Amino acid sequence: MAEAVDLKAIGTRPVRPDGVEKVTGRANFGADLNLPGMLHGKILRSPHAHARIKSVDLSGALAVDGVLAAISGKDIPGGGDLGDNVLANEKVLYDGHAVAAVAARSAFIAEQALDQIKVEYEVLNPVLSIDDAIADGATLVNESQHTNGDTSQPASNIAAVTKFERGDVDKGFAEADAVAEGEFRVPTAHQGYIEPHACTATINEEGKATVWCCTQGQFDVRSMTANCLNKQVSDIRVIPSEIGGGFGGKTTIYLEPVAVKLSEISGRPVKMVMSREEVFRATGPTSATLCRVKVGAKNDGTITAATAWLAYEAGAYPGAPVGPGCMSVLAPYDLENFRIEGLDVLVTKPKVAAYRAPGAPQSMHAMECAIDDLARKLGMDPIDLRLKNAADEGTVAPYGPQFPAIGLRACLEAAKVHPNYTTPPAEGQGRGVAVGFWFNIGMQSSAEIRIAENGAVTIMEGSPDIGGSRASMCLMAAETLGIPYENINAHVGDTEATGYCNTTGGSRTTFATGMAVIEACEDIIAQCKERAALTWELDVDQVDWEDGQAVPKPGVNADVKPLSLADIARSAGRTGGPLLGRASLNAQGPGASFSVNWTDVEVDRETGKVDVKAFTGVQDAGRAIHPSYVEGQMQGGAVQGLGWALNEEYIYNDDGVMENAGFLDYRVPVTSDMPMIDTQIVEVPNPSHPYGVRGVGETPIVAPLAATSNAVRDVLGFRINDLPLSPPRVLAAIDENE
Amino acid sequence: MARVVFPDHLRQHTNGTEELTVVCDSFRSLVRKLDSDFPGIEEVLMKTAVAIDGQIYQDAWLEPIQPDSEVFFMHRIEGG
């Protein structure tokens, strides 16, 4: 691995390659594409949270002048639960579930045509909470769902149960001098990406479709769309646009198969753009949770036992992120005795989708609050208690394996001496501390390096850029090739223009696609050495690559001038043709990331409003390729976590209809709500990456929930277990406690 | 022999077995051995992540396994 002192490009903060296009408004997002003859598609959505579909009559819509196609669930024949979520078949399972769709010459006509579709429903009881879903005699969301697939047991809304256990929990609690426990609820929260889902699709007479869309993964859109329509992936080309935020919410599909099908029927391109209300009602937020945790420790702070019972709402179909929730809840700690149980629970709400560090914020909110309470009972500094029990290299993680080199201890030690921590909170303010964790992932990536005649470098890769990754790719290429950053550009290709890449998410892109870019650059260097050897009439093993030039190795007797990448590219026709480097890999060893956050808050005791006055995040990035984008990820994740802690929640009425499907009533933080989010990057290099990279995008959202709860506990003198800490909840708690 | 551990959610496919030792030299040979003992488990394990000696793999098909290796199957990690 390259030592930090040797690095020239990595660690600098150049302007991003996509910056000019974005700040000038030229960049094309999902809804920006228009094609000749294009139709506009619209979706009819269920007004009921739970109902059986008795019939769908499209004839009224098809009779509307200007309507060229209309479809219902039977037109999406594949995809299983995914296809049923795209267009419902037998039942609607949440308010806003798609039932039918039309394509018309204008969006206005399409909206009018939706009113002419007749759907006959048999309305069923909604299932709106974990408590209702797991109660005896609960209404079943899916009558054929059995826990863990065990058909010997009655059908249940509990789709799966998962457990992790080590040691003797009862003995551990018996040895504890202090115990903290509680029940904590975290509400449904949406990723809140500014750009709604949008796509345009066209299909030709040979059945070959092209889809333009905003997505975190064009290859997954291709396979999921093909699956829903029983087509081959080779029948579909997916071209990703720039993306106006995803945060995990654009790792699945909603519109694409519908647009392709409408295009197939009408013979025209079809564009579909969700409204904000549709985004809230019908796309996947993250799970609401109910968590019961308990933790005990000796007087010296040694944690002797912990338990966690974690129930996650999956929405209408199985697949809540309860597994990662269970695996992360105690990941920061080196424990001998614990028991973790997780439930994946069906409710009549939208199927959840990934949201930054899926599953971790909810379970770690509960445990980090309990750890804070434990520190109070023991009279210990909350960072000292965590340092006393911190997982380190060699610690056996609660989910089984031993941690390799990790940066939790380094983060805690950096936090302990940080001036923002050594300075006490201002009078009237409270402070809360919490730690965050995410596994990070690697997976498959490809990259090509193309060299122009003047030596300019183009990177072609397949990972949509949701956080400045093109700049990071250029920096790693500059470092590897030894050439200026300004000579390199990076492009995200469509499914037919670049090699396969798994979806951008899980904080994999800078790690995994970065590794592919580095290997592709090494391929270029090897080719350049061969070309130089041919030029100089030397053996290739007599040639080195130094500072972006081919040079004879020390001791080689050759009276030649070094050849730059531009020199070699200019004469490439004489030495074998254009320079083209490539790499594909399945990246392993992504390296877990830990963070420490603390926040200072004030509480208005007359209104219950919580104001965040200061926030500091310390996080292990392995190595920060472009520190500004690492800090940006830390700040963005912190703000999303603070919003979830303070205000964000889905509000349903008794019939299961969402009542706050818009940004006026679903309140995300705005700039005036936030203090400066202060950051400190810790670098404990990941030994599995050539430059030491760890993913950084997931971890920052994890700790702000508990850090905020703990700060409010500090200032009020009592704990409010449930989120959000919105003015009504805080005011009610103040009234109750004072 | 490598030590192989199944988390709770996979034990329905192992007749309740939590842990066993297996003679194998790669993840591929491990999965094939397990599928002979627990027919059908290969399909399940292909959708599962695995940690071999502390290193987490989403797809470990060709990874070597040493006689003293520890192999933990686990939930596959995705992300936002």
Instruction: Please check whether residue B38 touches A, CB under 8 A.
Output: no
CATH architecture of A289-440+591-737: 2-Layer Sandwich (3.30)
Q: Are A588 and B57 in contact (CB under 8 A)?
A: yes
Whole-number pLDDT of residue B55: 82
Instruction: Please check whether residue B79 touches A, CB under 8 A.
Output: yes
Q: Are A234 and A209 in contact (CB under 8 A)?
A: no
Instruction: Please check whether residue B15 touches A, CB under 8 A.
Output: no
Beta-carbon separation of A191 and B70 below 8 A: no
Q: Are A338 and A165 in contact (CB under 8 A)?
A: yes
CATH 3.90.1170.50 residue window(s) in chain A: 33-124+195-244+250-282
Strand ranges of the sheet holding A677-682, from the earlier edge strand across to the other edge = A430-438, A593-603, A610-620, A677-682
For residue A496, give the amino acid letter. Answer: E
Of B58, B75, B80, the CB nearest to A327: B75
Residues sharing a CB contact under 8 Å with residue A186, sequence separation 6 or more, in sequence order: A288, A289, A291, A361, A362, A365, A366, A644, A705, A722, A723
Chain B nearest-CA distance from A146, in A, is 13
Confidence of residue B56 (pLDDT cuts 50, 70, 90): confident
Instruction: Please check whether residue B5 touches A, CB under 8 A.
Output: yes
Q: Are A536 and A558 in contact (CB under 8 A)?
A: yes
The token pair at A577 is 């043709």
The angle that helices A627-646 and A469-481 make with each other, rounded to 10 degrees, is 160
Question: How many structural domains comprise chain B?
Answer: 1
Taking only the tens place, the pLDDT of each residue in A389-424 is 999 999 999 988 889 899 999 999 999 999 999 999
What's the whole-number mean pLDDT along residues A41-47? 98
Report the distance separating Cα A98 and Cα A671, nearest Å.
Answer: 34
Q: How many CB atoms lie within 10 A of CB B64?
A: 13
Give the pairing type, strands A51-57 and A289-297. Answer: unpaired
Is residue B79 assigned to a domain? no
Of B57, B72, B78, the CB nearest to A506: B78
Chain B nearest-CA distance from A504, in A, is 8
Taking only the tens place, the pLDDT of each residue in A224-253 is 999 999 999 999 999 999 999 999 999 999
**CA nearest to B75 within chain A:** A323
Confidence of residue A271 (pLDDT cuts 50, 70, 90): very high
Chain B nearest-CA distance from A568, in A, is 38
Give the pairing type, strands A178-186 and A338-346. Answer: unpaired
Chain A nearest-CA distance from B19, in A, is 12
Closest Cα partner for A526 from A500, A553, A550?
A: A550
Of B53, B75, B80, the CB nearest to A248: B80
- Residues from chain B that touch A249, judged by Cβ atoms under 8 A, are 80
Task: State the distance between the two ends of chain B, measured CA to CA, in whole angstroms.
Answer: 37
What's the whole-number mean pLDDT along residues A569-576? 97
In the Cβ-directed half-sphere of A101, how many Cα atoms lie within 13 Å? 35
- Residues from chain A that touch B51, judged by Cβ atoms under 8 A, are 399-401
Whole-number pLDDT of residue A232: 98
Q: Are A429 and A601 in contact (CB under 8 A)?
A: yes
- Strand ranges (DSSP E) for B1-80? 2-5, 19-22, 49-52, 55-57, 70-74
For residue A487, give the amino acid letter. Answer: N
What is the enclosing helix (H) or strand (E) of A531? helix A514-536
The token pair at A412 is 């805690």
Beta-carbon separation of A356 and B57 below 8 A: no
Taking only the tens place, the pLDDT of each residue in A252-267 is 999 999 999 999 999 9
Chain A nearest-CA distance from B9, in A, is 5
**Residue pointed to by tokens 């696609």:** A513
Beta-carbon separation of A441 and B8 below 8 A: no
Q: What phi and psi, each to the nearest 5 degrees, are found at residue A283?
A: -110, 165
Beta-carbon separation of A149 and B77 below 8 A: no
Q: Are A701 and A361 in contact (CB under 8 A)?
A: yes
Instruction: Please check whether residue B7 touches A, CB under 8 A.
Output: yes
Is residue B46 assigned to a domain? yes
Q: Quote ipTM for the complex.
A: 0.90
Long-range contact set of residues A111-117: C-beta below 8 Å, sequence gap at least 24? A111/A42, A112/A64, A113/A42, A113/A60, A113/A61, A113/A64, A113/A66, A113/A67, A113/A70, A114/A42, A114/A43, A114/A44, A114/A61, A116/A60, A116/A61, A116/A63, A116/A64, A117/A44, A117/A56, A117/A57, A117/A58, A117/A60, A117/A61, A117/A70
The token pair at A311 is 């129930």
Q: What is the CA radius of gyration of chain B?
A: 12
Domain hosting B32: range is 2-74
**Residue pointed to by tokens 């990259």:** A447
Q: Report angle CA A395, A398, A404 to the nearest 5 degrees.
A: 35
The token pair at A120 is 């006959």
In the Cβ-directed half-sphere of A179, how many Cα atoms lie within 13 Å? 14
Instruction: Please check whether residue B68 touches A, CB under 8 A.
Output: no
Q: Report angle CA A481, A483, A489 to the nearest 5 degrees.
A: 90
Is residue B80 assigned to a domain? no
Q: What is the CA radius of gyration of chain A?
A: 27
CATH architecture of A33-124+195-244+250-282: Alpha-Beta Complex (3.90)
**CA nearest to A340 within chain B:** B8
Decide if pLDDT at A591 tops 80.
yes
Whole-number pLDDT of residue A428: 96
Is residue B48 assigned to a domain? yes
> Residue A30 carries which DSSP code?
G
Residues sharing a CB contact under 8 Å with residue A248, sequence separation 6 or more, in sequence order: A191, A216, A286, A353, A354, A355, A356, A358, A505, B79, B80
Q: What phi and psi, each to the nearest 5 degrees, are found at residue A430?
A: -120, 155
Chain A nearest-CA distance from B10, in A, is 9
- Residues from chain B that touch A702, judged by Cβ atoms under 8 A, are none
Number of cross-chain residue pairs from A and B with Cβ atoms under 8 Å apart: 107
What is the residue-averaged pLDDT of chain A?
A: 97
- Could you tell me which residues are beta bridge partners of residue A119? A56
CATH 3.30.365.10 residue window(s) in chain A: 4-26+442-587, 289-440+591-737
Q: How many CB atoms lie within 10 A of CB A135?
A: 12
Residues sharing a CB contact under 8 Å with residue A713, sequence separation 6 or more, in sequence order: A369, A372, A373, A430, A432, A719, A720
Taking only the tens place, the pLDDT of each residue in A602-639 is 999 999 999 999 999 999 999 999 999 999 999 999 99
Report the distance separating Cα A1 and Cα A623, nearest Å.
Answer: 11
Instruction: Please check whether residue B70 touches A, CB under 8 A.
Output: yes
Chain A nearest-CA distance from B40, in A, is 14
Instruction: Please check whether residue B59 touches A, CB under 8 A.
Output: yes
Instruction: Please check whether residue B12 touches A, CB under 8 A.
Output: yes
- Residues from chain A that touch B9, judged by Cβ atoms under 8 A, are 148, 160-163, 323
Of A358, A441, A507, the CB nearest to B58: A441
Is residue B47 assigned to a domain? yes
- Residues from chain A that touch B59, judged by Cβ atoms under 8 A, are 443, 586
For residue A700, give the amino acid letter. Answer: P
**Residue pointed to by tokens 């202090």:** A178
Which CATH number among 3.40.50.12160, 1.10.1740.10, 3.30.365.10, 3.40.50.2030 corresponds to the domain A4-26+442-587? 3.30.365.10
For residue A566, give the amino acid letter. Answer: A
Whole-number pLDDT of residue A2: 66
Of B12, B56, B59, the CB nearest to A586: B59
Report the distance separating Cα A113 and Cα A61, nearest Å.
Answer: 5
Whole-number pLDDT of residue A402: 86
CATH number of the domain bearing residue B23: 3.10.20.30
Instruction: Please check whether residue B3 touches A, CB under 8 A.
Output: no
Beta-carbon separation of A698 and B59 below 8 A: no
**CA nearest to B9 within chain A:** A162
- Residues from chain A that touch B44, judged by Cβ atoms under 8 A, are none
Q: Where are the alpha helices (DSSP H) in A571-678?
A: 572-575, 627-646
Beta-carbon separation of A354 and B59 below 8 A: no
Taking only the tens place, the pLDDT of each residue in A107-146 is 999 999 999 999 999 999 999 999 999 999 999 999 999 9
What's the whole-number mean pLDDT along residues A709-723? 98
Beta-carbon separation of B9 and A163 below 8 A: yes
Mutate to test the interface with B, among A439, A440, A698, A701 (most CBs of B within 10 A): A439
Residues sharing a CB contact under 8 Å with residue A546, sequence separation 6 or more, in sequence order: A482, A562
Distances from the Cα of A492 to the Cαs of A151, A243, A513, in angstroms? Answer: 46, 12, 11
